[in-house]
């Protein structure tokens, strides 16, 4: 049986006041489920849980919930740089426009908490190095032979897409400081599960998570954390893919 008082205590620790003041019975159900069931399951640390939910709500474009979890992340001692890097990481997967709106919400919370902006730049690549740096990260996650084959076998009219993946997606974002590769792969898995309809990419990034050191237990805990915000259909789709990949 879940500990309702523990759920309420955690909720009060992370949030100020009522999130749904006009729907208190709904709020109680959510507090009891999210903070009594989901947050108490598994061994993910509180900071990572909040980064996951920042990414979920950025992907969903649920900006009110996003702001609540930025507040909660700061209270859980997640640094502003980690929060920003989690949102930046979404860009190649959900698009620039959504991330810009999410950043407006994040920056509003930062300013209310007297956090000076802009934050220190976390980029590590230059124009001449971004392709190779991104290619190297791809190889670390997906294997050199696979990535080289993607470049070598791409039709002439699609070679630019493979270059963009290496230079932009992995070179400009994955090489940034602030989050390590294991965390970035977890967050990418979260984005793809939240989007839905990205099963092939979700399979690939499930394998990549295992390659960089995240195991089945971690991925199950991650998708469990997402469930209240993405619903059961997308949760079960992601679990099916985890099962498919980890049984091979």
- Does residue 18 register a pLDDT over 90? no
Q: 125 with 172: CB under 8 angstroms?
A: yes
Q: What is the DSSP string of 124-174?
A: ---TTTHHHHHHHHHHHHH-HHHHHHHHHHS-GGGHHHHHHIIIIIIIIII
Q: 56 with 24: CB under 8 angstroms?
A: no
User: What number is the average pLDDT over the span 23-34?
Assistant: 94
Q: Percent of the chain, pLDDT > 70?
A: 100
pLDDT of residue 20: 86
pLDDT of residue 19: 85
Q: Is the peptide bond before 118 cis (omega within 30 degrees of 0)?
A: yes
Q: 61 with 87: CB under 8 angstroms?
A: no
Q: What is the DSSP string of 6-65?
A: HHHHHHHHH--S-SSTT-HHHHHHHIIIIIIIITTSS---HHHHHHHHHHHHHHHT-HHH
pLDDT of residue 150: 97
pLDDT digits (tens, 9 = 90+) for 107-124: 999 999 999 999 999 999
pLDDT of residue 98: 98
- Does residue 16 register a pLDDT over 90? no
Per-residue confidence band for 79, with pLDDT thresholds at 50, 70 and 90: very high
Q: Percent of the chain, pLDDT > 90?
A: 95
Per-residue confidence band for 158, with pLDDT thresholds at 50, 70 and 90: very high
Could you give the CA distance from residue 62 to residue 231 in angstroms, rounded to a whole number? 14
pLDDT digits (tens, 9 = 90+) for 180-210: 999 999 999 999 999 999 999 999 999 999 9
Q: Considering the chain, what is the average pLDDT of its residues?
A: 97
């Amino acid at each position: 049986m879940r500990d309702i008082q523990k759920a309420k205590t955690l909720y009060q620790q992370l949030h100020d006041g009522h999130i749904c003041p006009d729907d208190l019975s709904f709020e109680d159900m959510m507090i009891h489920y999210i903070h009594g069931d989901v947050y108490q399951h598994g061994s993910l640390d509180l900071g990572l849980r909040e980064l996951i939910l920042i990414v979920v709500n950025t992907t969903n474009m649920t900006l009110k919930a996003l702001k609540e979890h930025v507040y909660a992340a700061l209270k859980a001692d997640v640094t502003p740089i980690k929060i920003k890097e989690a949102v930046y990481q979404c860009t190649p997967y959900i698009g620039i426009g959504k991330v810009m709106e999410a950043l407006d919400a994040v920056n509003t919370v930062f300013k209310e908490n007297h956090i000076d902006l802009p934050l220190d730049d976390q980029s590590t690549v230059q124009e001449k190095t971004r392709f190779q740096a991104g290619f190297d990260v791809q190889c670390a996650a997906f294997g050199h032979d696979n990535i080289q084959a993607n470049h070598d076998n791409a039709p002439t009219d699609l070679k630019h897409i493979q270059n963009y993946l290496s230079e932009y997606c992995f070179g400009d974002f994955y090489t940034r400081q602030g989050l390590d590769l294991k965390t970035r792969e977890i967050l990418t898995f979260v984005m793809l599960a939240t989007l839905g309809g990205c099963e092939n990419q979700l399979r690939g990034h499930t394998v990549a998570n295992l390659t960089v050191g995240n195991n089945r237990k971690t991925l199950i805990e991650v998708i469990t954390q997402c469930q209240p915000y993405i619903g059961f259909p997308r949760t079960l789709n992601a679990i099916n893919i985890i099962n498919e990949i980890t049984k091979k």
